[in-house]
Amino acid sequence: MLGATATYSHAEAIARQAFLALMWALSYPGRVRQLPPSRFDEDDFMLFGRALLDPETSYFCPDGSLAARLARHGAKSRSVASAAYVFLPRLDEAALALVSEVRLGTHALPDEGATLIVGCDLDAADAPEIVCSGPGIEGQVRVRIGSVPLAFWELRRQMIRYPLGFDAFFVHRGRVVGFPRTTQAEVA
């Protein structure tokens, strides 16, 4: 039928809105974006799962409870070194060691680099200020991201060799900040 439009279920509409928020977070790095509210009592990580995971993708999560809930989306659970999406609710020392193992893509297929979804604190007034520059940023953007060790930023700098690297989302209480591999991030 010509002129017909698809009708989304509420769950599909939420997933679509979340995906768009994530897309805009990567398009405008370092800027805090609002995630859509969900009527499904989902935390931010499950909302990411709804938007990003399906039977064609893979994920890793060191938190057993969250990993079991993410499995509901049909994605394959893989090792940190082979997963497309790496969910890290806390970026403690053990999780930081996992970051050093994520896949970075290849020169033939740089888009196979992992995407990290990292829990943080976007409300911490005493958090270090991260100065962002690069594509999608006019001049510089500054953002405070708490509960992320300073060692993460150095590790990220060492690991990313464009076009190789990983993208990262930092999430806290319905808000997200995107850091594509093209973004230079320095601790102020």
- Rounded-to-integer distance, Cα 70 and Cα 77, Å: 9
Write out the CATH class of domain 10-73+81-187.
Answer: alpha beta
Q: What angle do CA 185, 143, 110 make, to 5 degrees?
A: 35
Rounded Cα distance between 79 and 83, Å, is: 6
Nearest Cα to Cα of residue 146 among 87, 184, 90, 100: 90
Q: What per-residue confidence (pLDDT) applies to 41?
A: 64
Lookup: tokens for 51: 């938007």
Domain ranges for the chain = 10-73+81-187
Residue with tokens 């990262």: 168
Q: Count other Cβ atoms within 10 Å, centred on residue 178.
A: 26
CA distance 92 to 148: 8
Provide the residue-wise pLDDT of the chain in tens; the chain has 188 residues.
566 676 778 888 888 999 999 999 999 999 999 999 876 667 999 999 999 999 999 999 999 999 999 999 999 999 999 999 999 999 999 999 999 999 999 999 999 999 999 999 999 999 999 999 999 999 999 999 999 999 999 999 999 999 999 999 999 999 999 999 999 999 99
